[in-house]
Amino acid sequence: MKRSGPFLLLVPLLFVVAFVMTILLLLQPPPTGACGVAGEPIGPATGNLGGVSGTGITAAELATVRSSPLARNNSFTEGVFHSTAYGPPWGVDPQSGVDQGAGIATAAGLRLNGGAPRKYFVATDPAVISSGQWLYIWPNPFQWRGAFLAADTGSAINGRDIDFYDWRGRSFQLAWSKPVTVSRAPMSGLGPGPADMQPGAFAPPLATTPTAPPAAAATGPVLNLGDSLAVGSGPELERKLTGRTVTTLAARDRTSAQGLSILRGVSTVPSTIVVQLGTNDSDVSAFRANVRSIVAVARLASAKVWWVNISRPVLNGTSASELNAVLTAEAARQDNLQIIDWKAAVAAATVQLSDGVHPTAAGYEKRATLIADALAGADSTLGACASAAPGSLGELAGSPEQIVNGVVEYAHANGFPNVTVESVRVANAAHSVQTTSGNTSDHKGPPDFAWAADISNGNAPTPQMDALAATIAGAFSIPWQGSGLVSAGNAEYRLQLIYRTCGGGDHWNHIHFGVKKVFFLIIRRTGSSTPRPC
């Protein structure tokens, strides 16, 4: 074929245009569900990684991530996100001073063991995309057309942030920072990936209940704390729990608030606490706060709470079911709280109530049997709680709220009588969402992910605040020099202690203690405390 001159000149020009178009297509986030290129794959396909549909993640690892509390909310948000990348080498980066953590496991429990395995997963804000969700992201650092698993979180990953785990090292990680489109379904034009990549095709259902709670020791002393029902069942309980010392601290008409203050006064809290309270309560919100405080006091003592639920007529407009719903919800998120189902025993007519509240002698015998059977079924270990010395702070286990509540209960007993689990909850609800640096404040939760308390007993620093800050720092191994903003923790939790400083907002006259679940943590020591109020 004969070609004219101008046509020959056009050929290279068309190549240039096609090349530029291709680059633009690679860089631009495609509109969800309507990407421009059909049929042909974009970019080189990544080889088979094994694991679940080529992601390098095994079915067992997926199950682990989906059993994490971070998977519980089932959140998913589509659209444009901002993305960055992180990963090995682990430890403190000599260039930036940023600590990437030890790389042992992601926040949702995916084990990396300090290595650099080739896996497609990302860190997300679990309030926006829960751990355990599959998501399709384009573009991405690997030109991977299959799904990524949300399996991690990070202290700097808030809202519409995506952090790609990139095993290839720092130069790749630093080179990546750009907007991406996130979709729940495969994006058309990108190819669906392997057929079994479809979310849900192979995956076990999301965990809706927490893993089995650790149980208290089946031996050792027992504290029986409660109202008239604890008075009535006390002697039978002592008889049934042979070989165990049962101390009954009970009185009729006692409320959960009174029971809490009695528990706070117990000098040596045993590892098993039976609570028989709530029958005389009618304020649901106060009851919830008291349950949380009692569980927090128990946690401080590495103790487990066995709470007998409630069967009684409506009191001041509040039904037993409302209070039992609080107990059920708290037990689902507190691994040292277990419910003993008295309500079901009454409903099944296996016991008779003489006055709608108090059982007959045979009923008390049945109630004591229920309690004793529950305690006898306990394992001989207390799980995570067992590692903490009785009565000490500093246990990094459970949810951020549980860790913070332990500090709050300690503070309440050591010079801060006005600071309670309930006062912190109320303050956090009213707290601003963003920090001075624009991140979501730990105060805003959700409590399984992040929680914080502001603790103060004066308008200026006091000796009690100085002492408490030092105690918290010592208990949690936070490098503390009397003032400033210090972040510390481990590969699972980012702790933050702020006091006597204007850094990060006005923290001159109160101690801020915050805990957040993370994977990689940023150690930031700001010694810029100024010797004056902000």
Chain contacts with Zn ion (rule: CB under 5 A): 454, 512
Alpha helices in 394-512 (DSSP H): 400-413, 421-430, 463-475
State whether residue 520 is helix, strand or coil: strand
Residues with Cβ within 8 Å of 120's Cβ and at least 6 positions away in sequence, in order, are 49, 55, 56, 57, 142, 144, 146, 147, 148, 149, 165
CA 522 to CA 516: how far, in whole Å? 12
Q: Which residue's Cβ has the minimum distance to Zn ion?
A: 512
Residue whose CB is less far from Zn ion, 288 or 512: 512
Residue whose CB is less far from Zn ion, 150 or 465: 465
Give yes or no for a cis peptide into 89 (omega within 30° of 0): yes
Cβ distance 411 to 455 under 8 Å?
A: yes
**Which amino acid makes up residue 498?**
I
Q: Nearest 10 degrees: CA dihedral of 214, 218, 219, 220? A: 50
**Most distant pair of Cα atoms in the chain: their distance:** 110
Q: Could you tell me the CA-to-CA distances from 283 to 33, 93, 308, 323, 409 in Å, in that order?
A: 50, 52, 18, 9, 21
Q: Which H helix or E strand runs over 369?
A: helix 361-376
Residue whose CB is less far from Zn ion, 108 or 472: 472
Residue whose CB is less far from Zn ion, 371 or 465: 465
CB of 515 to Zn ion, least distance (A): 12
Residue whose CB is less far from Zn ion, 401 or 454: 454
Residue whose CB is less far from Zn ion, 312 or 512: 512
Residue whose CB is less far from Zn ion, 416 or 519: 416
CB of 454 to Zn ion, least distance (A): 4
CB of 507 to Zn ion, least distance (A): 7
**Which amino acid makes up residue 217?**
A
CB of 511 to Zn ion, least distance (A): 9
The total number of residues written for the chain in this structure: 534
Residue 493 DSSP label: E
Residues with Cβ within 8 Å of 302's Cβ and at least 6 positions away in sequence, in order, are 271, 382, 385, 386, 388, 389, 390, 395
CB of 456 to Zn ion, least distance (A): 10
Q: Could you tell me the CA-to-CA distances from 187 to 37, 80, 145, 177 in Å, in that order?
A: 10, 13, 9, 21
Q: Which H helix or E strand runs over 122?
A: strand 121-124
Residue whose CB is less far from Zn ion, 108 or 498: 498
Task: Locate 476 and state its tokens.
Answer: 């949690």
CB of 480 to Zn ion, least distance (A): 16
CA 346 to CA 495: how far, in whole Å? 45
Residue whose CB is less far from Zn ion, 244 or 512: 512
CA 192 to CA 195: how far, in whole Å? 7
Q: Could you tell me the CA-to-CA distances from 63 to 48, 59, 134, 412 in Å, in that order?
A: 21, 6, 13, 40
Residue whose CB is less far from Zn ion, 225 or 455: 455
Residue whose CB is less far from Zn ion, 448 or 454: 454
DSSP string, 166-226: -TT-HHHHHH-EEEEEEESSPPTTS---SGGGSTTSSPPPPP-SPPPPP---SSS-EEEEE
CB of 211 to Zn ion, least distance (A): 31
CB of 452 to Zn ion, least distance (A): 5
Residue whose CB is less far from Zn ion, 99 or 454: 454
Residue whose CB is less far from Zn ion, 152 or 454: 454
Q: What is the CA radius of gyration of the chain?
A: 28
CA 196 to CA 500: how far, in whole Å? 56
Residue 454 backbone dihedrals phi, psi, to 5 degrees: -100, 120
CB of 451 to Zn ion, least distance (A): 11
CA 523 to CA 234: how far, in whole Å? 51
CB of 496 to Zn ion, least distance (A): 9
Residue whose CB is less far from Zn ion, 81 or 410: 410
